[in-house]
Amino acid sequence: MKYKGSCHCGQIAFEVEGELSQVADCNCSICSRLGSLHWFVPRDNLHLLTPESGMASYQFGPRTISHYFCPNCGIHPFGEGADPSGKRMAAVNARCLEDVDLSSLQVAHYDGRSL
C-alpha cells in the first residue's frame, strides 16, 4: 500500500510503500523526546516529493542514523540509516502519515536507552 506523509507545514512531503501493521516506540534519548512511532521500511520505498534542500538533519552518538526534520515547523517525519546487514532503511514517523489509524497498529517497545 502507498501512504502520503509530510511535516506539519508541508515543506517535507513524501510517499512510502509497504505493509503498515507495526511500529516501534523507542525509549532512547532522542526518540523519547520526539514521540515518534517508527515504521521501518527499505529506504528505496520512501520517495521524496519535495527537494532534499528543504530538510535539515541531526546525528548524534555513533552518527549512524540521520534524523531528518523540517527547519520551518520542526517536525521529524523520518530518519535513515542501515540495518545490521548494511541495507539502507528508513524509519518513517507514522504520526506524519495521512489517513492512518494509529490505534490499529501494533506497537513494539524498543529499549534503545540501554544500548
**Residues present in the chain in total:** 115
How many Å apart are CA 41 and CA 93, to the nearest integer? 11
Taking all residues of the chain, what is their mean pLDDT, rounded to a whole number?
95
Give the pLDDT score at 115. 76
Per-residue pLDDT at 60 exceeds 90? no
Answer with the residue of higher pLDDT: 60 or 14.
14
Q: What is the pLDDT averaged over residues 33-41?
A: 96
Coil/strand/helix, residue 54: helix
Give the pLDDT score at 18. 98
Domain 2-114, second-level architecture: Beta Complex (2.170)
Q: What is the pLDDT averaged over residues 81-89?
A: 93
Give the pLDDT score at 63. 83
Answer with the residue of higher pLDDT: 65 or 13.
13
Q: Cβ distance 54 to 70 under 8 Å?
A: yes
Q: H helices then E strands: how many in the chain? A: 1, 10
Among 26, 12, 20, 75, CA closest to 45: 20
Q: What percent of the chain has pLDDT over 70?
A: 100
Ranking 21-25, 58-62, 84-88, 95-99 by mean pLDDT, the lowest is: 58-62
Domain map (residue ranges) of the chain: 2-114
